[in-house]
Amino acid sequence: MVGTKFNLGGEEMSVEDNEDNIKICKQYCGDCPSYPQGTDEWLFCAKGKCSKSIERQGCICPGCDVYEKYDLSTTYYCDVGAEE
Ligand code: SF4
Ligand code: SF4
């Protein structure tokens, strides 16, 4: 299953791969110093890591609305892939 699983009130949910979440991701990953320029890949927290190698220069995922909504807990999804 693609996506990040977590428990909310006993129910397991994944980050949904939809237009709204992609739009939010673009505001954060798109502004991130670690984002590989020229890449049009988004929502690493749901879809897994980037096809390009990442030079870590900070991760702003924790400020993202998707991060809060799905109660995510780690960083650098572009590098490590979706949360297990
Ligand atoms: S948590 Fe990170 S990868 Fe996921 S939508 Fe937000 S900025 Fe993008
Ligand atoms: S997942 Fe984190 S480190 Fe990677 S581009 Fe998005 S905000 Fe930056």
Per-residue pLDDT tens, the chain, 84 aa: give them: 555 555 555 455 789 999 999 999 999 999 999 999 999 999 999 999 999 999 999 999 999 999 999 999 999 999 999 976
| Ligand 2 pocket test, candidate residues 78, 79, 83, most atoms within 8 A of CB | 78
Domain segments of the chain: what residues? 6-80
Cα–Cα distance for residue pair 31/59, rounded to 1 Å: 10
Helix, strand, coil percentages for the chain (3-state, nearest 5): 35, 5, 60
Residue with tokens 């879809």: 47
H helices of 29-75, where?
A: 44-47, 65-69
pTM: 0.87
Residue type, 9: G
